[in-house]
Structure 1
Amino acid sequence: MRPLVQVPAAAGHSAVLEALRAALAGGPALFVASGEPGADPSPLPATVAQHVGLVVETSGTTGRPKRVVLPTDAVLASAAASESALGGPAQWVLALPVHYIAGLNVLARSLSAGTRPVAVGAGGFTAEAFTAAASALDSDTSHAVALVPAQLATLLGDASARAALRGFQAVLVGGQATPAPLVDRAREAGIRVVRSYGSSETSGGCVYDGVPIGGAHVRVVDGEVQLGGTTIADGYLGDPELTAARFLDDGGIRWFRTADAGDWDGARLRVSGRRDDVIVSGGVKIALAAIEEVLQAQPGCADAVVVAVPDARWGERPVAICSGDAVDDAAAIAAVGVALGSVARPERIVRLAALPTLASGKPDRGALGALAANSPPGG
Structure 2
Amino acid sequence: MNVVEVDGTPDAARRLMRALTDALDGGDTVLPLAANTPDAEPPPDAPSSAAAVIRTSGSTGTPKDVLLSARALTASATATHARLGGPGHWLLATPAHYIGGLQVLVRSLLAGTEPGVLDLSSGFQPEAFAQVSKALPGEGPRYTALVPTQLARLLDAGQADAAASFDAIIIGGAALPTGLRERAEDNGVRVISAYGMSETAGGCVYDGVPLDGVRVATDAPTEAGRVRLTGPILADGYLNDDAETSAAFRDGWFHTNDLGRISPDGRLEILGRADDVINTGGVKVAAHAVADALLSHRGVRDACVVGLQDPDWGEAVVAAVVPHDPERPPAPDDLTAHVRTALGAPSAPKRVRFVAELPLRGPGKPDHDAVRRLLRS
TM-score scaled by length of structure 2: 0.93
**Partner Cα distance (2:156, 2:184) in 1:** 10
Q: RMSD over aligned Cα, in angstroms?
A: 1.5
Alignment check: 8 A CA contact 2:303 2:358 kept: no
Deviations 1:192-211 (A, max 9, x none): 10000000000000000000
Q: 1:239 aligns with which of 219, 238, 241?
A: 241
Is 1:184 the counterpart of 2:186 in the alignment?
Answer: no
Is 1:34 the counterpart of 2:40 in the alignment?
Answer: no
Q: What runs of 5+ residues in structure 2 fail to find an aligned partner?
A: none
Deviations 1:69-111 (A, max 9, x none): 1111000000001111111112111111111101101111111
Secondary structure of 1:244's counterpart equals helix
What's the CA shift for 1:241? 0.5
**Partner Cα distance (2:183, 2:256) in 1:** 29
Match of 1:21 in 2: 21
Match of 2:2 in 1: 5
Is 1:368 the counterpart of 2:371 in the alignment?
Answer: yes
Q: What runs of 5+ residues in structure 1 fail to find an aligned partner?
A: 375-379
Is 1:318 the counterpart of 2:306 in the alignment?
Answer: no
What's the CA shift for 1:339? 2.0
Secondary structure of 2:205's counterpart equals strand
**Partner Cα distance (1:233, 1:331) in 2:** 45
Matched positions, count: 364
What's the CA shift for 1:270? 0.3
Alignment check: 8 A CA contact 2:46 2:239 kept: no
Match of 2:255 in 1: 257
Match of 1:166 in 2: 164
Match of 1:282 in 2: 281
Match of 2:42 in 1: 44
**Partner Cα distance (1:300, 1:54) in 2:** 42
Q: Which amino acid aligns with 1:330?
A: D
Secondary structure of 1:176's counterpart equals coil
Match of 2:308 in 1: 309
Q: 1:74 aligns with which of 53, 72, 75?
A: 72
Alignment check: 8 A CA contact 1:307 1:372 kept: no
Secondary structure of 2:203's counterpart equals strand
Deviations 1:322-351 (A, max 9, x none): 123312432221121122211110012111
What's the CA shift for 1:238? 0.8
Match of 2:123 in 1: 124
Match of 2:361 in 1: 358
Q: Which amino acid aligns with 1:355?
A: L
Alignment check: 8 A CA contact 2:278 2:306 kept: no
Higher mean C-alpha displacement, 356-365 vs 195-204: 356-365
What's the CA shift for 1:46? 2.8
**Partner Cα distance (2:182, 2:58) in 1:** 27
Deviations 1:32-86 (A, max 9, x none): 122455x6x3743334333211110001313221100111100000000111111
**Partner Cα distance (1:24, 1:132) in 2:** 31
What's the CA shift for 1:125? 0.6
Alignment check: 8 A CA contact 1:299 1:328 kept: no
Match of 1:299 in 2: 298
What's the CA shift for 1:117? 1.2
Secondary structure of 1:276's counterpart equals coil
Q: Which amino acid aligns with 1:15?
A: R
Q: Which amino acid aligns with 2:65?
A: R
Q: 1:94 aligns with which of 79, 92, 95?
A: 92
Alignment check: 8 A CA contact 1:97 1:359 kept: no
**Partner Cα distance (1:301, 1:272) in 2:** 21
Deviations 1:130-177 (A, max 9, x none): 011101101223211101100000111233x21122221101111111
Secondary structure of 1:48's counterpart equals coil
**Partner Cα distance (1:293, 1:136) in 2:** 36
- Cα distance 1:197–1:36, how it changes in 2: closer, same or farther (>3 A)? farther
Match of 1:140 in 2: 139
**Partner Cα distance (2:216, 2:61) in 1:** 26
Higher mean C-alpha displacement, 259-268 vs 16-25: 259-268
**Partner Cα distance (1:214, 1:263) in 2:** 19
Alignment check: 8 A CA contact 2:33 2:40 kept: no
Alignment check: 8 A CA contact 1:295 1:332 kept: yes
Q: Which amino acid aligns with 1:158?
A: A
